[in-house]
């Protein structure tokens, strides 16, 4: 699968829209019972995920926005994790997904699909305690083809190492008032990682 078959549409498949789409879609497929997904990519096409640039010792890899959405899903839904149901009410255009990993860690992902306007939620997670680590998936706009960051880090326009660069931006949110308060900027995703319950 991929967002749009036969190479995709410029301005959609090659933008940050695809990162938010793939993140939400992989959760939807997991909820439907799908055990694995192959995301197709054709080098040089509009919906390319990773692509070569240069040759020989100058070879570099382009990393497109959709890959970052796949990265966040891999962090939020590691092998053996299971989906959880939350009692959090969400406004229109906002999706919330939660998993419990084998080691007991709880990951909650909030996707704000709205092109403008931050959204505030108080995430209620049964049995959760302790401060939650927060990581955001962001770009300058939903139409951006570059400038994507995950936890404040990026591969940049090209990478020779496959390692995220830049200072990591992680902070914590304590549980208060029976939940975790979180504000999710427009056209972005925020992941909370909550310690395993006792």
| pLDDT score at 198 | 65
Residue numbers of the chain with a pLDDT score lower than 70: 198
CA distance 58 to 64: 19
pLDDT at 52: 86
pLDDT score recorded for residue 127: 75
Q: What is the pTM of this model?
A: 0.94
pLDDT at 41 (0 to 100): 84
- Can you tell me whether residue 25 is helix, strand or coil? helix
E strand or H helix that includes residue 196: none
Looking at the domain 16-194, which fold is it? Immunoglobulin-like (2.60.40)
For the chain, the structural domain boundaries read: 16-194
Exposure b/e, 126-135, CB count within 10 A at least 16 = b? eebeeebbbb
What is the dihedral sign for C-alpha 40, 45, 49, 53? positive
Map tokens 């830049």 to a residue: 166
**Residue carrying structure tokens 């909820």:** 31
pLDDT for 58-68, tens place per residue?
789 999 999 99
For 62, phi and psi rounded to 5 degrees? -85, 135
DSSP 176: B
């Amino acid at each position: 699968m991929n967002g749009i078959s036969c190479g995709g549409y410029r301005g959609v498949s090659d933008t940050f829209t695809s990162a938010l789409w793939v993140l939400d879609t992989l959760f939807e497929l997991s909820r439907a019972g799908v055990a694995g997904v192959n995301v197709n990519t054709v080098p040089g096409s509009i919906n390319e995920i990773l692509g070569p640039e240069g040759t020989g010792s100058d070879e570099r890899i382009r990393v497109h926005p959709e890959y970052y959405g796949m990265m966040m899903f891999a962090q939020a839904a590691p092998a053996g994790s299971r989906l959880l149901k939350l009692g959090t009410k969400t406004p229109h255009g906002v999706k919330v997904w939660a998993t419990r990993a084998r080691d007991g860690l709880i990951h909650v992902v909030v996707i704000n699909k709205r092109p403008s306007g931050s959204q505030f939620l108080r995430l209620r997670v049964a049995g959760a305690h302790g401060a939650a680590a927060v990581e955001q998936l962001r770009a300058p706009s939903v139409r951006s083809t570059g400038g994507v960051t995950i936890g404040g880090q990026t591969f940049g326009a090209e990478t020779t190492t496959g390692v995220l660069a830049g200072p990591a931006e992680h902070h914590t949110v304590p549980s208060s008032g029976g939940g975790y308060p979180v504000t999710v900027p427009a056209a972005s995703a925020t992941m909370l990682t909550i310690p395993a319950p006792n």
